[in-house]
């Protein structure tokens, strides 16, 4: 898995989009400079407003970096659709990173578990050096931390702490961390592919007379 420094060496300038939280963050990065903007708005508005604010020339972008989650599925998929569209217009590599892995690595080797809501009374859980897991609320243990501006539907566990989710600041501390992976088709992270029940249609008929 490449680091941000390695990606920049090969594919600058990069456009980075993180729509995992309610604060959508957009960055324009090259080997020497990085310009950022962030706004709290619906991702379909915030992403393009950020690109306009940074005066991004999409034809000059050589690669894309995006957060695949966990986080806002709608926000992440909105960003992913835009990236796939731009890749269709001009093929360029895309690299994904995980929101909780980013926070976990920035916190360092601690006992904290970084969590985000996974719905249905369960949580995405990330610890430094461990794979991302989905854990029921009742099985959470140890010190817990949750990134700021992440939505949650399940009540927060007792004693949880909040930590800033400032992508620019987090990445600045981790230029050589192996956080990124190349992806062919940007999309939101899923623990497993969704499964669907089959349904056989039947023609509705009035009940027969006795």
Question: What is the chain's pLDDT, residue by residue, as a tens digit (210 residues)?
Answer: 899 999 999 999 999 999 999 999 999 999 899 999 999 999 999 999 999 999 999 999 999 999 999 999 999 999 999 999 999 999 999 999 999 999 999 998 778 999 999 999 999 999 988 899 999 999 999 999 999 999 999 999 999 999 999 999 999 999 999 999 999 999 998 765 444 445 566 565 666 665
Q: What is the pLDDT of residue 207?
A: 61
pTM of full prediction above 0.85 = yes
CATH number of domain containing 51: 3.30.420
Does 196 map to a domain? Answer: no
Q: Is the Cα torsion angle 27, 126, 105, 161 positive or negative in sign?
A: positive
Considering its fold, how many domains does the chain have in total?
1
Whole-number Å distance between alpha carbons of 123 and 151: 12
Q: What is the pLDDT of residue 147?
A: 98
Q: What is the pLDDT of residue 199?
A: 57
Whole-number Å distance between alpha carbons of 164 and 149: 8
Does 82 map to a domain? Answer: yes
Element (H, E) at 190: none
Does 190 map to a domain? Answer: no
Does 209 map to a domain? Answer: no
Q: What is the pLDDT of residue 135?
A: 96
What is the residue range of 22's domain? 4-183
Which 8-state DSSP code applies to residue 137? G
Does 197 map to a domain? Answer: no
Please report, for residues 28, 64, 120, the alpha-carbon distance to residue 60 in angstroms, rounded to integers and kept in the order given: 11, 11, 43
**In the chain, which ranges are continuous DSSP H helix?**
4-11, 43-53, 73-89, 99-107, 167-172
Does 195 map to a domain? Answer: no
Whole-number Å distance between alpha carbons of 124 and 132: 7
Does 24 map to a domain? Answer: yes
| Beta strands 14-18 and 23-29, pairing class | antiparallel
Does 89 map to a domain? Answer: yes
Query: DSSP 3-state assignment of 38?
Result: strand
């Amino acid at each position: 898995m490449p680091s941000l420094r390695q990606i920049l060496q090969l594919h600058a300038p990069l456009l980075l989009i993180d729509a995992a939280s309610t604060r959508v963050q957009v960055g324009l990065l090259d080997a020497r400079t990085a310009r950022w903007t962030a706004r709290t708005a619906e991702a379909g508005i915030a992403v393009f407003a950020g690109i306009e604010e940074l005066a991004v020339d999409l034809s000059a972008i050589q690669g894309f970096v995006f957060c695949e989650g966990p986080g806002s599925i709608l926000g992440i998929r909105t960003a992913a659709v835009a990236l796939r569209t731009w890749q269709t217009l001009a093929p360029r590599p895309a690299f994904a990173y995980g929101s909780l892995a980013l926070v976990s690595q920035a916190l360092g080797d601690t006992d904290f578990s970084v969590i985000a809501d996974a719905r249905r009374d369960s949580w995405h859980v990330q610890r430094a050096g461990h794979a991302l897991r989905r854990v029921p609320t009742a099985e959470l243990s140890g010190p817990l931390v949750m990134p700021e501006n992440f939505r949650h539907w399940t009540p927060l566990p007792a004693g949880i702490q909040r930590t800033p989710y400032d992508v620019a600041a987090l990445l600045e501390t981790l230029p050589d961390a192996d956080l990124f992976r190349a992806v062919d088709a940007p999309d939101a992270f899923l623990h497993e592919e969704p499964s669907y029940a089959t349904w056989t249609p039947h023609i509705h008929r009035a009940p027969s007379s006795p």
